[in-house]
């Protein structure tokens, strides 16, 4: 019974994390639309900044509730597995609820990304893509635990919040 619970935990973890890791249609982390270096690099106008701020806020509020639904469904799923008398039917039903909740969260996130993409010009989007590529390159070049003299991590050419 214990190994079944461990297998289920792994399945739930992969169901949540794998799609996020595989998703390439993404934005830089943090409030990048307020970072002066990003603003100047991509040519973001004040009007665009406001539109992006409003869109992200609206979708973030929805995603908070949807994330709570995913967490609750995950708890219910784990509970359905951890029964003395095991019946796969309630586990399947709980898994279906979990998957539906997770899909709603991903759909909301995707809609936010689409809305932000509509606000940006093609050229600005290409510059965002370049920023993301550079961030990824810097992460891959940096090895964990590498420190410069004095125990400080080496400084990188990156915007705050990235």
Tens of pLDDT, residue by residue over 8-41, are: 555 555 455 444 444 456 788 889 999 999 999 9
Structural domain boundaries in the chain: 2-123
> Has residue 160 got a pLDDT over 60?
no
> Has residue 56 got a pLDDT over 50?
yes
Query: What's this model's pTM, rounded to 2 decimal places?
Result: 0.68
Going by pLDDT thresholds of 50, 70 and 90, the confidence category of residue 159 is very low
CA 108-112-116 angle, to 5 degrees, is 170
3-state helix, strand, coil in the chain (%, to 5): 75, 0, 25
**Top-level CATH class of 2-123?**
mainly alpha
Integer Cα distance of 121 and 94 in angstroms = 42
Structural element, H or E, at residue 35: none
DSSP 125-146: HHHHHHHHHHHHHHHHHSPTT-
Going by pLDDT thresholds of 50, 70 and 90, the confidence category of residue 99 is very high
């Amino acid at each position: 019974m214990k190994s079944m619970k461990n297998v289920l935990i792994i399945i739930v973890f992969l169901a949540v994390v794998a799609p996020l890791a595989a998703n390439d249609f993404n934005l830089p982390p943090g409030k990048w639309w307020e970072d002066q270096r990003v603003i100047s690099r991509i040519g973001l106008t004040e009007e665009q900044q406001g539109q992006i701020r409003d869109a992200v806020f609206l979708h973030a509020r929805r995603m908070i509730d949807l994330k709570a639904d995913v967490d609750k469904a995950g708890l219910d799923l784990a509970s359905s597995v951890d029964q003395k008398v095991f019946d796969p039917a309630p586990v399947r039903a709980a898994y279906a609820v979990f998957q539906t909740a997770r899909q709603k969260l991903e759909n909301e996130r995707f809609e936010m990304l689409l809305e932000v993409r509509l606000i940006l010009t093609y050229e600005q989007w290409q510059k965002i893509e370049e920023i993301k590529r550079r961030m990824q390159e810097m992460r891959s070049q940096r090895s964990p635990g590498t420190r410069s003299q004095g125990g400080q991590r080496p400084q990188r050419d990156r915007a705050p919040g990235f």
